[in-house]
């Protein structure tokens, strides 16, 4: 059974980072951040779900159907290749049942938990975030500037002719043999380019960072 408590905050950014550091001590967490940006029917909520239950790996449609056979909270993701058989090196889908859910509002945080919300809040407050620094990465891109500009011009011509009405043209920036702090990297990306549907997820010892910089363009 979930209990609820509401706590007042003065600095949302600091408390979010502290909450993420606290959540990183758990087996799984999922952070969904709408950045309070108006989007269609309103901004997406800012929610952090945390759980220690073993995750449910998605391998087939039958697994997916059985996973949602009850009405309990579940947080996770499905990849583009969930049912295609491609990209076996990473999870095609992953869901977990949270024991704690934090809802971040303006100047307040609501903690909904099977544990004691007041104890969780105290643990979050005690997290030290000063020792963590944003990572410095040397990235490589997969296309030269002149080729990129040429492609953009061709896409503009398609748009002007009406062949297409919208396109997301993304570049790959990669860094090899690099150790990163996923939380610090996500927070840095989100600060540089806030977007209405960013997210960060931990699955045991793996992370998914969703902070698409093309929203800035």
Report pLDDT digits (tens) over 23-51: 999 999 999 998 888 777 777 889 999 99
Sign of the C-alpha dihedral computed for residues 79, 192, 46 and 117 taken in this order: positive
List C-alpha distances in Å: 209 to 65, 202, 206. Answer: 26, 9, 10
- Lookup: tokens for 81: 């290749």
Rounded percentage of the chain residues whose pLDDT exceeds 70: 81
Q: At what angle do helices 12-23 and 117-125 cross, to 10 degrees?
A: 110
Catalogue all structural domains in the chain, each as residue range(s) with its CATH number. 3-134+180-215 (3.60.120.10), 139-174 (no CATH)
Task: Indicate whether 88 pLDDT > 70.
Answer: no
Nearest to 196 by CA among 176, 211, 209: 211
Render pLDDT for 47-71 as a digit per residue (tens, 0 to 9). 999 998 765 666 656 566 666 666 7
- Lookup: tokens for 216: 């800035």
Task: Indicate whether 5 pLDDT > 90.
Answer: yes
Q: Give the 3-state secondary structure of residue 80.
A: coil
Beta bridge partners of 193: none
The residue among 5 and 62 whose pLDDT is bigger is: 5
Range in 89-98, 112-121, 144-153, 154-163 with the lowest mean pLDDT: 89-98
φ and ψ of 154, to 5 deg: -65, -40
Mean pLDDT score of the chain: 84
What CA dihedral angle connects 41, 48, 13 and 190, to 10 degrees?
A: -70
- Lookup: tokens for 10: 């003065």
What is the rounded CA–CA span in Å between residue 200 and residue 176? 21
Task: Indicate whether 201 pLDDT > 90.
Answer: yes
Render pLDDT for 128-163 as a digit per residue (tens, 0 to 9). 887 777 667 788 888 888 999 999 999 999 999 999
Sign of the C-alpha dihedral computed for residues 14, 23, 100 and 195 taken in this order: positive
The answer to whether 118 and 7 have CB atoms below 8 angstroms apart is no
Give the pLDDT score at 70: 67
What is the rounded CA–CA span in Å between residue 163 and residue 130? 51
């Amino acid at each position: 059974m979930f209990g609820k408590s509401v706590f007042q905050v003065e600095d949302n950014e600091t408390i979010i980072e502290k909450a993420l550091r606290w959540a990183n001590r758990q087996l799984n967490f999922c952070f969904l951040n709408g950045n309070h940006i108006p989007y269609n029917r309103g901004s997406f909520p800012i929610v952090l779900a945390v759980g220690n239950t073993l995750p449910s790996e998605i391998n087939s449609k039958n697994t997916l159907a059985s996973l949602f056979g009850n009405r309990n909270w579940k947080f996770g993701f499905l990849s583009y290749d969930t049912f295609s058989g491609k990209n076996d090196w990473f999870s095609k889908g992953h869901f977990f049942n949270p024991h704690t859910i934090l809802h971040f509002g303006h100047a307040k945080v609501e903690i909904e938990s099977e544990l004691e919300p007041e104890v969780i809040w105290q643990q979050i407050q005690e997290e030290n975030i000063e020792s963590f620094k944003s990572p410095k990465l040397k990235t490589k891109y997969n296309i030269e500037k002149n080729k990129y500009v040429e492609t953009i011009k061709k896409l503009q011509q398609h748009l002007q002719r009406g062949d297409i009405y919208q396109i997301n043209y993304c570049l790959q920036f990669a860094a090899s043999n690099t150790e990163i702090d996923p939380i610090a990297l996500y927070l840095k990306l989100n600060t540089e380019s806030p977007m209405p549907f960013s997210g960060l997820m931990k699955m045991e010892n793996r992370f998914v960072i969703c902070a698409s910089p093309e929203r800035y363009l």
